Amino acid sequence: MHYDDNRPDTYWSRAIILVDMNAFFCSVEQMDHPELQGRSIGITNGSQGTCIITSSYEARAYGVRTGIRLKEAQRLCPGFLQVPSHPERYAQISSRIMKALSRITPDMEIFSVDEAFLDVTHCQRLLGTPQQIARLVKQTVLEASGGVLCSVGASGDKTTAKYAAKLQKPNGLTLIPPGRARETLAKVPVTELCGIARGIGRYLAERGVYTCGDMRRLPIGEIGRRFGNPGRRIWLMTQGLDPDPAHTDVAAPKSIGHGKVMPPNTKNRSVIEVFLLHMTEKVAARLRLHHSLIAMEG
Ligand SMILES: [Mg+2]
């Protein structure tokens, strides 16, 4: 075993993988309806829905975004196709994927209906380097789902792994060796990291902290005094040292929710409604997923 936290093709002292299914709802529709493959599609709530819940990469290329009106999507995107949502089908595919991933490692945290963290630190001897395990994860998702692609990020902590997964979409595989996490994040705005809200972003900006690299000028004790342990975690997250473990106890969540950032000063009622609808679909799919996971364990 050769351990080197500075290289992408070696074993690492800690290895976390984040897997994120690409345009998940649309990928399921395109898989179930081959005639939709390669087409610009957007999901609406039933066939009467007037707002876009989520769209395929082909449609995103034309500027179709979550929350816009169906009419606007049709105007932006030639050949745009409206597809009614099938939330139970999305939950079914999701639970098949999660079940298959949990056979790679039980140290897995289901983060949302289409995302999971895998702590593969302790299965490197069995399955290979994080790079090899990341390829196995992609193959597992493809086979378990029947055709859904995913983007995978790997690093030594959850925050950097999640950042890595965002860098190449769709169908990406991005490795940030743990020893390179701090320098890789240095130029990244703090608010781009998952879990750093705008409120804390403003607090940091008032202290001259815009990028993760700027954070080194702010003593960890100062943010700790203001925000407690979550503040200290944020400081560590920006340095590629997120201490948060993969939470495997999915069987008993205290709450199930979903968050989404709305465009600033949104006052349009129908836009607000579609954001609510999108979040409702996500929460409902998560509830169904959770239910089927309990059934799976039982
Ligand atoms: Mg996704």
Q: Where are the domains of the chain?
A: 24-87, 186-248
pLDDT score for 289: 72
pLDDT score for 276: 87
Whether the per-residue pLDDT at 253 is higher than 60: the answer is no
Helix axes 24-32, 87-101, angle to 10 degrees: 100
Per DSSP (E only), the strands in 95-157 are 108-112, 115-119, 150-155
Q: Which helix (H) or strand (E) holds 138?
A: helix 130-145
Whether the per-residue pLDDT at 99 is higher than 70: the answer is yes
Ligand 1: centre distance to CA 216 (Å): 31
- Give the residue-averaged pLDDT of 46-58: 94
Ligand 1: centre distance to CA 25 (Å): 9
Give me 192's structure tokens: 């781009």
- Give the residue-averaged pLDDT of 45-51: 92
Residues facing residue 42 across a β-bridge: 55, 82
Whether the per-residue pLDDT at 252 is higher than 60: the answer is no
Ligand 1: centre distance to CA 114 (Å): 5
- Give the residue-averaged pLDDT of 270-274: 84
User: Count of CB atoms within 10 A of residue 238's CB?
Assistant: 28
pLDDT score for 104: 97
For domain 24-87, give the CATH number. 3.40.1170.60
- Give the residue-averaged pLDDT of 254-275: 81
Task: Please state the separation of Cα 256 from the chain's center in Å.
Answer: 16
Range with lowest mean pLDDT among 12-26, 146-160, 253-267: 253-267
- Give the residue-averaged pLDDT of 195-203: 89
Residues facing residue 83 across a β-bridge: 43
pLDDT score for 108: 97
Q: Are 129 and 9 in contact (CB under 8 A)?
A: yes
Whether the per-residue pLDDT at 3 is higher than 50: the answer is yes
Mean per-residue pLDDT of the chain? 92
Residues 138 and 136: their CA atoms lie apart, in Å, by: 5
End-to-end C-alpha distance for the chain, whole angstroms: 38
Ligand 1: centre distance to CA 202 (Å): 27
pLDDT score for 43: 97
Whether the per-residue pLDDT at 249 is higher than 80: the answer is no
- Say which residue, 145 or 289, is predicted with more confidence: 145
Percent of the chain with pLDDT strictly greater than 70: 95
Closest CA to 55 of 78, 29, 94: 29
* Structure-token match 């890595």, residue found: 164
> Is residue 18 helix, strand or coil?
strand
Residues facing residue 51 across a β-bridge: 69
Which of 58, 109, 115, 281 is flagged as catalytic? 115
Residues facing residue 189 across a β-bridge: 211
Residues facing residue 108 across a β-bridge: 118
pLDDT score for 298: 37
For domain 186-248, give the CATH number. 1.10.150.20
Whether the per-residue pLDDT at 292 is higher than 80: the answer is no
- Say which residue, 14 or 253, is predicted with more confidence: 14
Cis check for the bond before 243: say yes or no (omega within 30 of 0). Answer: no
Has 143 been annotated as catalytic? no
- Say which residue, 197 or 251, is predicted with more confidence: 197
pLDDT range class, residue 293, cuts 50, 70, 90:
low
- Give the residue-averaged pLDDT of 154-180: 98
